[in-house]
Amino acid sequence: MKRQSHPMFDPSTIPDDLCPIATDFFDMRVGDWRARRPEVKRAKCVKCGVCWAFCPTQTVIEHPHYFEPSLDHCKGCGICAEECPHDAIVMVVEQE
Protein backbone atom coordinates (compact mmCIF):
# COMPACT_ATOMS: atom_id res chain seq x y z
CA MET A 1 0.00 0.00 0.00
CA LYS A 2 1.23 3.50 -0.84
CA ARG A 3 2.14 5.51 2.24
CA GLN A 4 0.69 8.94 2.95
CA SER A 5 3.22 11.57 1.92
CA HIS A 6 2.08 14.05 4.60
CA PRO A 7 1.37 13.38 8.28
CA MET A 8 -2.24 13.00 9.43
CA PHE A 9 -4.19 16.22 9.88
CA ASP A 10 -3.64 17.74 13.32
CA PRO A 11 -6.95 19.25 14.57
CA SER A 12 -5.12 21.20 17.29
CA THR A 13 -3.99 23.57 14.54
CA ILE A 14 -7.59 24.84 13.99
CA PRO A 15 -8.18 28.25 15.63
CA ASP A 16 -10.97 28.14 18.23
CA ASP A 17 -13.07 30.71 16.38
CA LEU A 18 -12.79 29.23 12.89
CA CYS A 19 -16.00 27.25 13.02
CA PRO A 20 -18.02 28.44 16.03
CA ILE A 21 -21.15 26.44 15.19
CA ALA A 22 -19.29 23.16 15.28
CA THR A 23 -16.95 23.93 18.13
CA ASP A 24 -18.81 26.24 20.52
CA PHE A 25 -22.48 26.02 19.61
CA PHE A 26 -23.80 26.43 23.15
CA ASP A 27 -23.18 30.17 22.88
CA MET A 28 -25.82 30.24 20.15
CA ARG A 29 -29.52 29.54 20.36
CA VAL A 30 -29.81 27.73 17.05
CA GLY A 31 -33.36 26.83 18.08
CA ASP A 32 -34.32 30.41 17.18
CA TRP A 33 -34.11 29.67 13.44
CA ARG A 34 -35.51 26.14 13.52
CA ALA A 35 -38.36 25.42 11.03
CA ARG A 36 -39.35 22.06 12.53
CA ARG A 37 -38.92 20.64 16.01
CA PRO A 38 -38.73 17.09 17.29
CA GLU A 39 -41.49 15.85 19.56
CA VAL A 40 -40.79 12.75 21.61
CA LYS A 41 -43.66 10.34 22.14
CA ARG A 42 -42.57 9.43 25.65
CA ALA A 43 -44.66 6.25 25.83
CA LYS A 44 -42.78 4.86 22.80
CA CYS A 45 -39.29 5.80 24.00
CA VAL A 46 -37.32 2.82 25.31
CA LYS A 47 -34.40 5.05 26.34
CA CYS A 48 -31.94 3.42 23.97
CA GLY A 49 -29.98 6.68 23.53
CA VAL A 50 -29.71 6.47 19.73
CA CYS A 51 -31.07 10.02 19.36
CA TRP A 52 -28.55 11.22 21.91
CA ALA A 53 -25.70 9.58 20.00
CA PHE A 54 -26.71 10.92 16.58
CA CYS A 55 -27.70 14.51 17.43
CA PRO A 56 -25.08 16.76 15.76
CA THR A 57 -25.56 19.54 18.32
CA GLN A 58 -25.47 17.19 21.31
CA THR A 59 -28.68 18.67 22.60
CA VAL A 60 -30.59 15.52 23.54
CA ILE A 61 -30.97 15.25 27.31
CA GLU A 62 -31.47 12.15 29.43
CA HIS A 63 -34.50 12.07 31.74
CA PRO A 64 -35.35 9.24 34.16
CA HIS A 65 -37.62 7.42 31.66
CA TYR A 66 -36.91 8.96 28.27
CA PHE A 67 -34.57 11.13 26.22
CA GLU A 68 -35.68 14.50 24.89
CA PRO A 69 -34.03 17.37 22.97
CA SER A 70 -33.43 20.73 24.60
CA LEU A 71 -35.16 23.03 22.15
CA ASP A 72 -32.84 25.99 22.82
CA HIS A 73 -30.09 24.26 20.88
CA CYS A 74 -32.00 21.91 18.58
CA LYS A 75 -31.66 23.08 14.96
CA GLY A 76 -34.47 20.88 13.70
CA CYS A 77 -32.42 18.74 11.34
CA GLY A 78 -34.56 15.66 11.99
CA ILE A 79 -31.68 13.21 12.31
CA CYS A 80 -32.93 12.01 15.70
CA ALA A 81 -36.37 11.25 14.25
CA GLU A 82 -34.81 9.47 11.28
CA GLU A 83 -32.54 7.34 13.46
CA CYS A 84 -34.91 6.49 16.32
CA PRO A 85 -35.47 2.74 15.99
CA HIS A 86 -38.86 2.96 17.71
CA ASP A 87 -40.43 5.85 15.78
CA ALA A 88 -40.72 7.71 19.05
CA ILE A 89 -39.79 11.09 17.55
CA VAL A 90 -41.87 13.04 15.07
CA MET A 91 -40.90 16.33 13.47
CA VAL A 92 -43.57 19.01 13.65
CA VAL A 93 -43.63 22.39 11.93
CA GLU A 94 -42.83 25.33 14.20
CA GLN A 95 -45.66 27.81 14.60
CA GLU A 96 -44.90 31.56 14.39
What residues make contact with ligand SF4 under the rule CB under 6 A? 38, 40, 45-51, 55, 57, 59-60, 66-67, 69, 74-80, 84, 86, 88-89
CB of residue 4 vs ligand SF4: minimum separation in angstroms?
33
CA 9 to chain centre: 25
Compare residues 3 and 51 and give the one whose CB is closer to ligand SF4: 51
CB of residue 18 vs ligand SF4: minimum separation in angstroms?
21
CB of residue 17 vs ligand SF4: minimum separation in angstroms?
22
The C-alpha atoms of residue 42 and residue 13 are separated, in whole angstroms, by 43
Compare residues 28 and 79 and give the one whose CB is closer to ligand SF4: 79
Count other Cβ atoms within 10 Å, centred on residue 40.
20
37 CB-side CA count, 13 A: 19
Pair 38, 74: CB distance under 8 Å:
yes
CB of residue 48 vs ligand SF4: minimum separation in angstroms?
4
Compare residues 28 and 66 and give the one whose CB is closer to ligand SF4: 66
Phi, psi dihedrals of residue 68, rounded to the nearest 5° = -155, 140
